[in-house]
Amino acid sequence: MEMSLFEAYEHDANFVVLKDMGGNITEAPGYNIVALHGGKWTTPTRGVLEGITRQTVLDLCKELNVTAEAGTLTEAAFRGADEILVTSTAGGVIPIVKLDGKNIGDGAPGPVTTRLRQLYWKKHSDPGWSAPLRRE
């Protein structure tokens, strides 16, 4: 994975995406990938760490009545995505606005990603979704 990061940096990229032996998108170092294509969010199901934040996004999609599933994310679907986001514990829902130097959509976070991101951070203060930790 480290070599893929070095290659990305050499091409002025901040992130790198990994593929499986069949050429399908899997994940990236430290985060999961979710792509909106044809009105449906897809996150890879094979070759990934099944992250908690990734699962939270799938749950939030249900709450927003947005179709989302874990399945195969082909490179073509990824490259043709209407919106792309990544998830991580530290960053939550992070919109991706460029792929290989080209804008995704209009180059700004997409409307569904924006709704997911807002709802994700709102849930941090919802006792049904989080629990405060206190030091003694």
Read off the pLDDT of residues 48-58 as tens digits, 9 standing for 90 and up: 988 899 999 99
**Domain extent at residue 59:** 2-125
CA-nearest of 34, 24, 79, 78 to 59 is 34
Range list of β-strands (E), the chain: 32-37, 40-44, 68-71, 83-88, 92-96, 98-99, 102-103
The answer to whether position 119 is within a domain reads: yes
Look at the chain and report how many structural domains it folds into.
1
In terms of DSSP bridges, do strands 92-96 and 98-99 run parallel, antiparallel, or are they unpaired? unpaired
Rounded to two decimals, the pTM is: 0.87
The answer to whether position 59 is within a domain reads: yes
- Amino acid 49 reads L
CA–CA gap between residue 123 and residue 14 (Å, rounded): 28
- pLDDT band of 10, cuts 50, 70, 90: low
* CATH number, domain containing residue 25: 3.20.10.10
Of 10-19, 22-31, 73-82, which range is least confident?
Answer: 10-19
Task: Dihedral sign for Cα 39, 115, 85, 49, please.
Answer: negative
The answer to whether position 37 is within a domain reads: yes
The answer to whether position 115 is within a domain reads: yes
The whole-number pLDDT of residue 13 equals 63
Instruction: Using alpha carbons, list the distances in angstroms from residue 68 to 79, 85, 133.
Output: 18, 13, 31
The answer to whether position 131 is within a domain reads: no
The answer to whether position 135 is within a domain reads: no
Residue 118 has phi, psi (to 5 degrees) of -65, -45
